[in-house]
Structure 1
Amino acid sequence: MSIRRDPVRKKVYIPKRKVWLLKESEYKVSYYREIQELVRNRVARPEGVSSHWDFLEGGLLAAADKVCGKTKGPPRNKISWWWNDAVDLAIREKRGLYKEHKKGGPREPYHAAKRKAKKEVYLAKKVIQDLVIDQVSDAENPNGIFNLARRIKEDGRDIVGERCFRKDDGTIAYVDKEIRDAWKVHYDRLLNVEFEWDREQLSTENPVLGPPPMIATDVVSSAINKMKDGKAA
């Protein structure tokens, strides 16, 4: 008896733009100048909303490619805001044992290292989260919550300025006040317009009366048993 195993296809790497560099003032200024040059050298205003968006998208991407460039290969070490030396050591150990396991080595050491890495990641995240909570809850620093909200807002702000918004007439709103007004018009229309339907075509079935059916204990136990370990915690 012969067993056929499908070959493992190698993942094709897709280059990514280094947009995270735009957080630095030097790259941000260069990118802003490229956008200004793009607008200044525009020959004619694109006709139609789609053409306008295509022109804007192409210019933004071209400026990002010129200023930031693209990655040349897959990331080697993914470092996050909660990363520390213990997590780095546990991840490296897990990767090494994984390679040995794929070559025919024992499985138990790899699974033990995997559990250890998960625990180190959890502890590292918990330390940072507790630190953020302490900073926000500090009575001597009443502005902590506002500083955190300001940082979240700055992280979500567009790299060029405020987020743009396409209004109903097809024009683009760039100013903060115009964007808020456009959103207000959108939600006023969304929440206050009544749906139109033919009442003669509505269903004539009687509504369901009485309390909802009770959920039995065995149904809950069966659902919990089907869940993976740690999902119900």
Structure 2
Amino acid sequence: MVLSGIPQNEVIILGGDLNGHVGRESDGFEGVHGEQGYGMRNAEGERILEFGNALELVLCNTLFKKDEAKLVTYSSGGCKSTIDYIMVRKEDRVLVRDAKAIPGEECVSQHRLVIGDLTLRIKKVGAKNHPPKLKVWKLHSGGNKNEFREKIEHIAEEVEEMMESGGVDGKWQAMKKALLEATEEVCGWSKGKARQRETWWWNDSVERAVNEKRRCHKVWKKSKREADRARYVEARRASRTAVWEAQETKRKKFASELEREGGQKSFFKIAKQMVKERRDVTGANCVKDEVGNIVTDNRGVKEVWQRYMEKLLNVDNDWDGEAGCDEVEGECGLITQTEVGKAMKAMKDGKAAGPCGVVAEMLKAAGDVGVQWMTDLCAEGGRKAAPGGGCPDNGWLSTVNDLVRGPEPCNGGPLQHVTVWAASGSGDG
């Protein structure tokens, strides 16, 4: 039954035309009937009381002493009765403050409106803790980006000396410290939650124009002078022009990116994101288990995914041990600055920082110095046989995230395993 499947921690409010007379007295149904009913009981009313007794529900209409006009929910040709009810769980009876019919108000023909006053217990959610973060998004603007690059170039020699003193871990620690300290000096730390999300076309010129418009508006509202109003109108016109120019610049930049290699992929990615944002319901609320049954409740869905992942990650595939590739002799080629620069340019902005705190915006804003540092770090990490080679200590702080891939989440897969490394902030599937 539908009602019996609802968890006990949820409130049930059942209301409607149950087409039965429960009568004035309880007569054996004291837990369901409140002794304040109307008329005589019939067979249909008996079934209503038995239904309430089986599911531990109570009839709110019978809990309060009312005049006849506020008890009658159906009236036709001089025949009056109560067949429309509101029912809640017995443990929720304390929430009900009142229940009555409204005389003269018809919701449908011959039926009066039945209302109930309930006081619901709403759990208060404590204030969410928002840890401070480095304002790395400020590195997108030209002024902050140039200042950051100048600071990095100023300390480049000192950092390179520190990088030479240690192995791969020493190089990484020196580079990380320089990037984080320069970002803190230029961008600062955030306080509390973000007040608003920055739009895609927002820049420094738009911000100055909008601030000037707001300032002129405050002056005009305070003075009420025609000259101040004229200045406000002019500032408003200038702000609209700045917004239009910023949007047009961003559109042209986006159009030029589409013409480059891989631009078509970005176009379809944005189109899919727009379709996803316009859906009424997002996310998968069901999954099929091993035998094909559809599971809809949250606990069941989690259990199905848990069994699937336990089987997926603990069953070995058959492998003969052969790599299937030709052996290559000689020295391993070093990673070049061109390759590192190209990889850094392809890194996406706006990604969450790992335990180390370094993000793509810092590496990109560092310019040629950042490319040189990353090249040295990759070259040192590639020398696994050398003392101090391999992965930095922060690189071992990684997590495995399982992402559903494809449009059919109900089928239980397929999944893609993504290892997120703290040191580089990149993923490897």
TM-score range, shorter chain: 0.3 to 0.5
Q: Which has the larger Rg?
A: 2
The structure with the greater share of residues assigned to strand is: 2
The structure with the greater share of residues assigned to helix is: 1
Q: Which structure exhibits the higher relative contact order, with contacts defined as CA atoms closer than 8 Å and separated by 6 or more residues?
A: 1
